[in-house]
Structures are given as C-alpha cells and as structure tokens.
C-alpha cells in the first residue's frame, strides 16, 4: 500500500513479512516513507507498528528469533544485503525510544560520547551546542553541561536523547512512542520539536495518541490485527495516506472506528 507521495522516497518496504521464530508477526507491508516528512504509525496493541519501525534500522537483528522476508530499501539500496553494516545503518537511521534513556554521564558527554565512538574529529563543543539547539534544549542546559543528564526532567531527558541522536548526523529519526512517559506540556514540546526537525530530517513516529498523529504527521499508516486459523494474531498495514485523508475521509470503516475511539 503506497500513499500519494510526490517527494523523494527515502525508505521503502515491499511485501515485508516479520517472523519471530515460526510465528508470523506482521504480513505483507508495503509503504513509502517520503523525505523530510513525518509519518505516524497508529493502530491497536500487537498490530506490528513498533516491529516494522525497528526493521528500518535493523534493531530486530538484536532479537535472535526475529527474521524478515520481503524487502526494505534506503535510497534504493537493500538494507538487509550482506554488505550492509547494521551499526553504520543505525548512524544514518537513528532511534529514540519510548522511555527516556540518557547515559549516566554529564549532559555534554551524552552528546559527545556517541559522536566520539563514531569517529567525529571536528569541534566537539560546537557539535554539542548545535545538537542541543536543534533539540530545543540548549537554553535549559547551557549553564549545566557538566551536570548529569539524569538530573533533568523526563521531558528534558527525552529531548536530550533526541539531541544525542542528532549528534551522530542521521538522515532519518525513528521515534517509538517518544511521549508515552511524558506529561502533556512535555508532549507538546516534543511535537513542536518534531515539526522543526522535519525541515532537516525524515521522521517516523509510533504513537497511540490520535491527536498527536493528527497534529504532528504529514502521512499516517494505520495498522490492524487479525486472527489466523491457528488463533494467532498477525499485524498488517490496513491503510496509508496523507494524515488529513486518514483522519477526515479514511477508506476503511475500521480506520474510521479506530481514530474515533469506537474500535473493537
């Protein structure tokens, strides 16, 4: 299923199936992720949103039983080809997790550590400042860069984690429910940040918050889940289109029911 995308496609899946052992978790997902846009993944628990998201930078490789078939390309190149180094891929396609997870280091070192690890040879002070500014947290941290990142509030910690991701200079940022653990004010700050970041990055966000998806994204993918003959549940991509279409005139009744709260 491919939305009406007029801009350059950065990530593309075709007939993507994800297995855990012999169990099929997500079936036949085909979609295009356009450059410098925000794509929201929505749907009920267990429908495969996070599973598909983690395929984009091969985080599922860290689960021994996980495997895929089908194809995922990044600028036309197969990211699961033998020659692709997953670590290099994760530098180009960064990830922000549900729970803020700053390193037990200073705010400065939270930004510098990954960059150093990836061989950054430039002006580290400038990189730290630029990354924190892009994450809209510089003004709150510039006078306490040597203090622990763990001393920040939850919302600040999440923006620090986003700054840490920015510092490794990715092209794509994946966000797996980045506001799930945050209060409404912090959530709005993250949404404002997402809007600013899409000027330079392509963003894919998993969210259970319908208002967030409608406010923050350009395109929305609705995933659903169905029972198989074996009574196992399999996720699939039910509908993908511009966010305004999904929320105002969805093609499927199940999509309409989900976004209106009548689902199930």
Question: Measured between alpha carbons, how far is 246 from 127 in angstroms, rounded to an integer?
Answer: 39
Question: Measured between alpha carbons, how far is 206 from 83 in angstroms, rounded to an integer?
Answer: 29
13 in helix, strand or coil?
Answer: strand
What is the pLDDT, as a whole number, of residue 2?
Answer: 52
Question: Measured between alpha carbons, how far is 81 from 69 in angstroms, rounded to an integer?
Answer: 12
For 46-60, give the DSSP string.
TSSHHHHHHHTTTGG
Q: Which residues contact 229 (CB under 8 A, 6 or more apart)?
A: none
Per-residue pLDDT tens listing for the chain (264 residues): 555 555 789 999 999 999 999 999 999 999 999 999 999 999 998 899 999 999 999 999 999 999 999 999 999 999 999 999 999 999 999 999 988 899 999 999 999 998 888 888 899 999 999 999 999 999 999 999 999 999 999 999 999 999 999 999 999 999 999 988 888 988 899 999 999 999 999 999 999 999 999 999 999 999 999 876 665 789 999 999 999 999 999 999 999 999 987 654
Structure tokens at 229: 């003959």
Question: Nearest-CA neighbor of 3 among 32, 42, 23, 24?
Answer: 32
Question: Nearest-CA neighbor of 47 among 204, 227, 212?
Answer: 227
DSSP H stretches of helix in 135-183: 138-141, 154-167
What is the pLDDT, as a whole number, of residue 31?
Answer: 95
Question: Measured between alpha carbons, how far is 52 from 77 in angstroms, rounded to an integer?
Answer: 18
Q: Domain map of the chain by residue range?
A: 9-259
CATH of the domain spanning 9-259: 3.40.50.300
Give the chain's count of helices (H) and strands (E).
10, 10
């Amino acid at each position: 299923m491919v939305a009406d995308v007029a801009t350059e496609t950065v990530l593309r899946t075709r007939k993507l199936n994800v297995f855990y052992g012999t169990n099929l978790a997500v079936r036949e997902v085909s979609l295009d992720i356009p450059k410098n846009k925000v794509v929201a993944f929505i749907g009920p628990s267990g429908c495969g949103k996070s599973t598909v998201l983690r395929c984009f930078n091969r985080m599922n490789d860290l689960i021994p039983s996980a495997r895929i078939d089908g194809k995922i390309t990044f600028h036309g190149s197969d990211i699961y080809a033998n020659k692709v180094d997953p670590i290099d891929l994760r530098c180009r396609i960064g990830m922000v997790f549900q729970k803020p997870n700053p390193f037990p280091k200073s705010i400065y070192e939270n930004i510098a550590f990954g960059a150093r690890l990836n061989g950054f040879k430039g002006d580290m002070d400038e990189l730290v400042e630029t990354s924190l500014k892009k994450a809209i947290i510089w003004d709150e941290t510039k006078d306490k860069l040597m203090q622990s990142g763990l001393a920040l509030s939850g919302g600040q910690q999440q923006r620090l984690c986003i700054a840490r991701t920015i510092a490794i200079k990715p092209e794509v940022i994946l966000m797996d429910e980045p506001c799930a653990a945050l209060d409404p004010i912090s959530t709005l700050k993250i949404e404002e940040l997402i809007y600013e970041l899409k000027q330079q990055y392509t963003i894919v966000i998993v969210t259970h918050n319908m208002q967030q998806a409608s406010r923050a994204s350009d395109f929305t993918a609705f995933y659903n889940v169905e029972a198989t003959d074996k009574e196992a549940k399999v996720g699939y991509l039910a509908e993908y289109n511009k966010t305004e279409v999904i929320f105002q005139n969805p093609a499927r009744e199940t999509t309409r029911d989900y976004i209106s709260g009548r689902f199930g």
